[in-house]
């Protein structure tokens, strides 16, 4: 049964073996994608012989492509019409825009390749997940502790947020957060994503995108940075500023439910968004979700 909201996951959902169920169904698309990226996406996802699957530039290409193929398979099975709305967690914006007809599969892959390369270049930053019932008060705690140069990168759930900053500042902050009862988990990333530290990448990405023309979305696309519906006039702004703004997943899912969306389907590797969204909407039987970045 098709759902009226389709959700696409972001970086962190990659796993060895992802895409196994769809690669054989779309051999021509796979061949063309391999020409664009210069290597075998199928081999990366299924075997990862060179240990690159968790490298940001490769990760983003792989997750985008697998998510798009899985969406094509989903649309073939259920038809495109039942999907009223698409949204995505960070990188997940791009398969969402593909599903909404904003660009084709291969232009999206080119854009994601540039995005991933720029994010891969961002160094000296770090990210920490803050877990527990006090996580909802993190903004207030950052002010009280006078860490004004630390940004909230993700509001994943009321008890799970992610902080992004220069590594030395987080080294100072984490013990102080733990002293007041927070549980902190370092994330395996090389940069301070979704923070002011991504400003150089944002500027370069804007230069890369500004000459491109995008089609108006054929479905409702909901931004997870602003919560608003993205029209054609806001697409470039969303793609560019998403790099320096937080992902507001908790607020977005709550908004969608409040505005009448009842069924949510995650398309892409893993089920982390499914778990997060069920927990946000009150399904207590859901397993504990992993921190997202």
Catalytic residue from among 57, 67, 90, 223: 90
Beta bridge mates, 127: 164
Is residue 187 a contact partner of residue 174, using CB atoms and an 8 Å limit? no
Instruction: List Cα–Cα distances, 25 to 20, 70, 168, in angstroms.
Output: 10, 10, 47
Catalytic residue from among 194, 197, 223, 261: 194
Tell me how far apart the alpha carbons of residues 131 and 136 are, in angstroms, rounded to a whole number. Answer: 9
The answer to whether residue 13 is catalytic is no
Burial of 282 (0-12, 13-18, 19+ CB in 10 A): exposed
The answer to whether residue 90 is catalytic is yes
Q: Would you say how long the chain is, in residues?
A: 293
CB-hemisphere CA count at 13 Å for 163? 30
Phi, psi of 121 (to 5 degrees): -75, -20
Catalytic annotation, residues: 90, 194
């Amino acid at each position: 049964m098709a759902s009226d909201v389709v959700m696409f996951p972001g970086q962190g959902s990659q796993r060895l073996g992802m895409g196994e169920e769809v690669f054989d169904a779309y051999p021509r698309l796979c061949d063309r994608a391999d020409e664009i990226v210069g290597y075998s996406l199928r081999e990366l996802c299924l075997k990862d012989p060179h240990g690159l699957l968790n490298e940001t530039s490769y990760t983003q290409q792989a997750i985008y492509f697998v998510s798009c193929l899985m969406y094509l398979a989903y649309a073939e099975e259920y038809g495109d019409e039942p999907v009223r709305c698409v949204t995505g967690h960070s990188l997940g914006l791009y398969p969402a825009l593909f599903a909404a007809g904003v660009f084709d599969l291969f232009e999206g892959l080119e854009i994601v390749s540039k995005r991933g390369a720029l994010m891969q270049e961002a160094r000296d930053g770090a990210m920490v997940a803050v877990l527990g019932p006090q996580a909802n008060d993190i903004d207030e705690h950052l002010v009280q502790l006078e860490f004004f140069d630390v940004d909230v990168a993700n509001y994943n759930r009321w008890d799970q947020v992610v902080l992004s900053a220069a590594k030395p500042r987080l080294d100072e902050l984490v013990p102080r957060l733990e002293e007041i009862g927070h549980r902190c988990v370092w994330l395996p990333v090389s940069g301070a994503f979704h923070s002011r530290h991504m400003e150089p990448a944002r500027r370069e990405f804007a230069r890369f995108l500004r000459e491109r023309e995008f089609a108006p979305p054929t479905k409702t696309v909901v931004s997870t940075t602003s919560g608003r519906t993205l029209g054609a006039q806001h697409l470039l702004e969303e793609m560019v500023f998403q790099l320096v703004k937080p992902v507001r997943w908790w607020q977005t899912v709550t908004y969608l439910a409040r505005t009448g969306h009842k069924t949510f389907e995650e398309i892409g590797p893993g089920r982390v968004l499914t778990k997060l969204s069920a927990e946000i909407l009150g399904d207590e039987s859901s397993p504990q979700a992993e921190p997202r970045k």
